[in-house]
Structure 1
């Protein structure tokens, strides 16, 4: 399992991904899941991959081969980010068509999902999620983030803190906390963590970092976040157990002669 996310704000993009693909008592493996296919000065193209590793590696390899062989249609020649998304969706379909039947014969899940984000000169930044069928959706100002992989643990902080107007540095911290929260709750997600921040209209990736196991900053962030959560928890008011009791009992049927918790005789 893995966890990758992309965030888009009016100020640019943030991409984050862990690197763990297998975790057990005596076996942990890591592979890169966040890729930069940018052509600096012309376009920024970031791709994150989740799902069956052989499928995602085949898709990434097919994209790289088109660039290496300078095919007429590749990530650097297509005119818009939308066209690039459709191009990658077609690559997904081709790989799925070739390999899925053989994997399914042995009961192996062939599913994969990709996040594509970036900007082509002359158009605004964009963020897309590509499904294993090759179709895709786009992030909007109302939904400024997309997640793939083990999404549930890292979603609450995104829901509560992110908006399209969030400053880019704050969005990057939010992405890291979302990944760390997932690592804290699920052993199948783990470092190294790759994080990229792209400033809109710069057409160049200036900010990227890989945080490995035991990285001092990653440990500091986790410690400070846990302290802050405890402090916020301790400051929450206690439950007023009697508040609204009559309404609750009436809705549950108690009060019509039925017995129940909190009923008075």
Structure 2
């Protein structure tokens, strides 16, 4: 299992993923699930991966291999909108699943899902969730976050506190607290956390931070949030 989160804001995007890949109790590894896709100049697109590791790696590698190929509907370099990029991801995911699915079925599930976020020239930042079937949905100002993987534990804080108008910095804090809740509740999600804070119209891939378990900010955030909750509970009226 994994946990990936994408947040769409007026000011940009926040994308975050854990790093645990689990193929059994004795096959636990750390894998980077946040990657940047090759696109035309003046564009920046990132992808977050969840599901069968062989499938996700095959999809991302194929996306990179086909970039610049000129193949209609499969060349990221030719995409003019992020909607087209999401369609290309879905098409390649379907092709990989059709090719490998029946061979993997006796041993496990070959399904995978993705979050695709970024900005293409001439558009505002956009965020899509690509399902295992290859179809996809888009985040909106009314539903500004999307999740894949182990989603339930990290969702409540986002529903309560996040809006499309939340600042980039506040959204990054909420994303990390969403991961804190998930890590506390499910051992199949693990550190480190890779977090991208993308400023609208920057077309930059430099805003990535990685938080290890002993990172001073990560430790301070978790401790302050825990103590704050304890204090709030103490102040609430007893039923």
TM-score, scaled relative to structure 1: 0.85
**CA separation in 1, counterparts of 2:206 and 2:41?**
12
Q: Report the Cα offset of residue 25 of structure 1.
A: 6.2
What corresponds to 2:104 in structure 1?
Answer: 103
In the alignment, what sits opposite 2:226? 226
Which residue of structure 2 aligns with residue 92 of structure 1? 93
Structure 1 segment 70-219 matched on structure 2, within 5 A: 70-73=68-71, 74-104=75-105, 106-219=106-219
For structure 1, the 5+ residue unaligned runs are: 240-265
Deviations 1:80-133 (A, max 9, x none): 1111110111000000000111111x1411211100011101111110000111
Shift of 1:233: 1.3
RMSD in angstroms over aligned alpha carbons? 1.6
Greater Rg by CA: 1
Residues 23, 188 of structure 1: 8 Å contact kept: no
Distance 1:10 1:236, change over 3 A: same
What is residue 63 of structure 1 aligned with on the other side?
63
Aligned pair count?
A: 236
Residues 117 and 126 in structure 1, CA contact (< 8 A), matched pair in contact too: yes
* Residue deviations 1:193-215 (CA, integer Å, cap 9, x gap): 00000011111134211112322
Distance 1:10 1:38, change over 3 A: farther
Query: Cα deviations across residues 178-198 of structure 1 (Å, max 9, x unaligned)?
Result: 011101111111111000000
Residue 45 of structure 1 corresponds to: 45
2:169 & 2:38 partners in 1: Cα distance?
21
1:35 is matched with 35
Superposed displacement of residue 39, structure 1: 5.0
Work out the CA distance in 2 between the residues paired with 1:40 and 1:77. 7
SS of residue matched to 1:210: strand
Deviation at 1:135, TM superposition (A): 0.3
**In structure 1, how many angstroms separate the alpha carbons of the residues matched to 2:173 and 2:160?**
14
SS at match of 1:76: helix
CA contact (8 A) 1:23 1:187 kept: no
